[in-house]
A and B are shown apart, each in its own frame.
Chain A
Amino acid sequence: MDEKLKRDIILDNYQNPTNRGLVDTQGYIRVNTRNSSCVDNIDVMAKLENGIFIDIRFDGEACAISTSATSIMIKTLIGKNIEEVKYIIDNYEKMINEEPYDKDLLGELVVYDTISKQPSRKKCAALPFESIKKIIEQANM
């Protein structure tokens, strides 16, 4: 993907993120995640039915990378089951750690394929996936 297109996708998802704003509805698992450099702080809530993510929402204060990554992640994961989501997370983490990964699984998330060049921002790109991992852990309890 060319750099200009990547930037446009990130910017669009930062300025008009998907499913921003939490809802006060029963049946959601809600978690809070902050990165260790004490800047980004997001709440993510997800509703699962029969092991499928039927809704994911978020809110919080985060940088352009974290916010856009959360937005793109939400679009990518809704409708997937837990096993598919785990597989996507695994491949996404491989991508940002510069290991071989399956590009076709990640859709628009490949806009972060060069994020490892900016080590301080890797944590930002990884943050929303930390939230989903926590949600899966809680769902399995």
Chain B
Amino acid sequence: MNRNDFDMLNSGLIYFDNGATTLKPKCVVNEVVDYYTKYTANAHRGDYDISAIVDTKYEAVRDKVKKFINADRRDEIIYTKGSTESINTIVFGYMMNNLTSGDEILITKSEHASNVLPWLELAKRKGVVVNFIPLNSKHEVTLDNINSVITKNTKVISLAHVTNVIGDIRPIEEIGKVCKEKDIILVVDAAQSIGHMPIDVNKYNISFLTFSAHKMLGPTGIGVLYGRYELLNKLTPLEYGGGMNTYFESNGELEYKPLPERLEAGTQNIAGVLGLGAAIDYLENIGLENIHKYELELKKYAIEKLKSVPNIKIYNENSQSGVVIFNIDKIFSQDVAVFLNHFGICVRAGNHCAKIVKDEINVTNTCRASFYLYNTKEEIDKLVEALNNQDKIFEIIL
């Protein structure tokens, strides 16, 4: 789809590491360049023309994000530097002040480090308990398994919408219903699903949602924290300074601004915000349903073709997103990745920052090919062809 929009593809590069970050279309790059070449100014100043332009565009992106995830209010959208900062802000700005010792948080062993470590740190500091929801034989979260570990002390369930290793889609809508019934806060890490499929915070009853722009065609260093207003309004800022206060006096009298400014201290990543806006426009123009359908088509094709590769083991044949994880028997995953690099194919090797998923899939390292809208079946054919030459691997990489 739309390959001409991506300059990075001009060299013939085959980019299958979209789980790590995505390529940027020209419209996103141009939006960022325009800010730096045509109207560089700070936001929230507005007294001269270019500043007013920046202000308007910056706040218009907030409305785009609101609509993109179907939030109720524009002040439920906070700009951050990415998913990691968003989750840390939730944990140390909200949970730290609103949970008490003994409260339970449910996560799983297939979460990314950014949805594990803040909770483990909170457990150390606050005495809350982190429990793992058991996964089924396909390494997926089921409602039954969630219900089996919810207790009267469960206050939070925090899950990736789509996991970055297995690529399974969690039944967030159903989980949201359970959370609503039992008054549990539902935190959803949408880093791997945003820009790949529609997300609706209202329909899914999501309390907090986090994502990074760079995994949805946007710039790096910009992301979003969504919080339902009554929760977000109780989140204590982690940063204090310009832009977030109404006034302060030397006698200590002060007042902070309402949301969203209260949680956006200091000059923000304005170019990043504008690039995020351009990415949303681009994705909506194609349609999130269409993107999801196309990725599934690529995955189905890849599985079918990869199965013919000698000595291959595929670990997530059934997951319904564009992620394939595999190993070649007796060859270390990193060696396979270095080998594929010689054919201009980018895949990720390792544990993909989900260091405890090994307890689930019984393998510590894998190669991951993660597809996006600009990938093609022809590129998958080239991956298969390269892997079929595996007997040359040591000649090539050593």
Contacts and interface: CB of A to CB of B under 8 A. Distances in A.
Interface of A: 6-7, 10-11, 14, 37-41, 61-65, 67, 118, 120-121, 124
A38 B335 contact: no
Contacts of A41: 364
A69 to B, nearest CB: 12
B215 to A, nearest CB: 19
Nearest to A120: B338
Nearest to B341: A120
Contacts of A121: 338
Interface in B358-398: 364-365, 394-395, 397-398
B355 interface: yes
Given A6-B398, A7-B395, A37-B350, 6 more contacts: A11-B394, A39-B333, A63-B334, A64-B397, A64-B398, A120-B338
A64 B350 contact: no
A64 B351 contact: no
Contacts of B351: 38-39
17 contacts: A7-B394, A7-B398, A11-B394, A11-B398, A38-B350, A38-B353, A38-B355, A39-B332, A40-B334, A61-B364, A63-B334, A63-B335, A63-B338, A64-B394, A64-B398, A118-B338, A121-B338
A61 B394 CA distance: 18
B88 to A, nearest CB: 20
Contact of A64 (B335, B349, B353, B365): B335
A7 B398 CA distance: 6
Contacts of A64: 332, 335, 394, 397-398
A62 B338 contact: no
A62 B365 CA distance: 10
Interface in B314-367: 332-335, 338, 349-351, 353, 355, 364-365
Contacts of A38: 350-351, 353, 355
Contacts of A65: 398
A61 B398 CA distance: 18
A82 B285 CA distance: 65
Contacts of B394: 7, 10-11, 14, 64
A7 B392 CA distance: 12
Interface of B: 332-335, 338, 349-351, 353, 355, 364-365, 394-395, 397-398
B398 A39 contact: no
A136 to B, nearest CB: 27
Nearest to A67: B332
B94 to A, nearest CB: 29
B340 to A, nearest CB: 13
Contacts of A118: 338
Nearest to A41: B364
A39 B349 contact: yes
A38 to B, nearest CB: 5
Contacts of B365: 39, 61
Interface centre among A6, A10, A61, A63 (most CB of B within 10 A): A63
A39 B332 CA distance: 9
Contacts of A63: 332, 334-335, 338
Nearest to A64: B335
Contacts of A11: 394, 398
B111 to A, nearest CB: 15
Contacts of B397: 64
A39 B348 CA distance: 11
A38 B332 CA distance: 13
A37 B170 CA distance: 28
A39 B364 CA distance: 8
Contacts of B398: 6-7, 10-11, 64-65
List 6 tightest A-B contacts by C-beta distance, closest first: A63-B334, A39-B350, A63-B332, A7-B398, A39-B334, A63-B335
Contacts of A14: 394
A41 B334 CA distance: 12
Interface centre among B333, B334, B335 (most CB of A within 10 A): B334
A39 B336 CA distance: 12
A41 B350 CA distance: 11
A62 B350 contact: no
Nearest to A60: B364
Contacts of A7: 394-395, 398
B299 to A, nearest CB: 24
A77 B355 CA distance: 33
Nearest to A11: B394
Nearest to B394: A11
Contacts of B334: 39-40, 63, 124
A6 B398 CA distance: 8
A14 to B, nearest CB: 8
A57 B334 CA distance: 23
B372 to A, nearest CB: 23
